[in-house]
Structure 1
Amino acid sequence: MHPRTVMSTADIARALTRISHEILESNKGPDDLVILGIPTRGVALADRIAALVSEFGGAAVPRGALDITMYRDDLHRNPTRTPQPTQIPAGGIDGKTVILVDDVLFSGRSIRAALDALQDIGRPAAVRLAILVDRGHRELPIRPDFVGKNLPSARQERVNVLLAEVDGAEEVTIAS
């Protein structure tokens, strides 16, 4: 079966705008925020969200990337992952509200790995989770704070996020 488009370029832009406003509202402004993307597509999304939060909040919000490769619990099954650089903003994360950003939330295992990776870097005041697509099927007690789209899916279906910065195209599809 051909993949079905569930989010267009405009849908993605609207979702990121809404998420950015929700982040500012829940944090009561841009102060003490740090936005960290999980490679690969989470970094592109984090860059966009940080730019929007900075624009709407009237102050620059630091952003970075958090590589979780060595913290994953599936390395024995997937040893070919290439670690990406972790880039923490100059001010660090201690005492800050860290917004973790990823493209799809599925089992929750990537986010568990991200929480472990964060622990090795510092001690944030709070950690929040922003996800473009929440497809359900959690295996761990992890829930996103900010969601672009809830997309109920069958376990065997595949959700693909394509972003211009990474893929040269922009859409979210689901396929059997």
Structure 2
Amino acid sequence: MASFPVRSARELMDDDFHARWTQRESVGPIARVALAAILDRFVADGGPVALDSLALGHDRGTVEAAVAELDAADLVATRDGRVLLAYPFASAPTGFAVDLPGGRERHACCAIDALGIAPMLGAPTRVRARCHHCADAVDLAVEPTGPIGRSDVMAWVGRRDTLRQKACDGL
């Protein structure tokens, strides 16, 4: 059986990681408002989110420019006038289903995103996935402070070859 290095999140953060987050943190105020509205819609409706449905108090061109800024910073992905994903949420099924309070199911972009939804919402969630190594079902209760009752679970993290690939595709 192969052995894999086990590293903490802090050990995985390199200069490229910090540069990407510096870019993401530099998005403008209208883009920030747009991102909040998009995330709210993903929570409420699951996505995708049509750009023309975003009523932000600005003209369509301003909204489109703000969403394009978010896309360039890899905070959302758009196609054909729709936001298909807004980290941590994906509009299409992925390997990571997240049950929100009230029984709503949402799809997370990757394992880390799935685990981060409870803290983001400040509410408990349930993450359902498959083990990256053996394909067994993984069912995790996650509180805003983190997963509960499971010390045997770890996330598999790898480098993305391109910006649009998953970095963490297994639990």
For the criterion TM > 0.5, the same-fold answer is no
More helix by share: 2
Q: What is the TM-score normalised by the length of structure 1? A: 0.28
With CA pairs under 8 Å and 6+ residues apart, which has the higher RCO, 1 or 2? 1
Structure 1 or 2, whichever has the larger Rg, is: 2
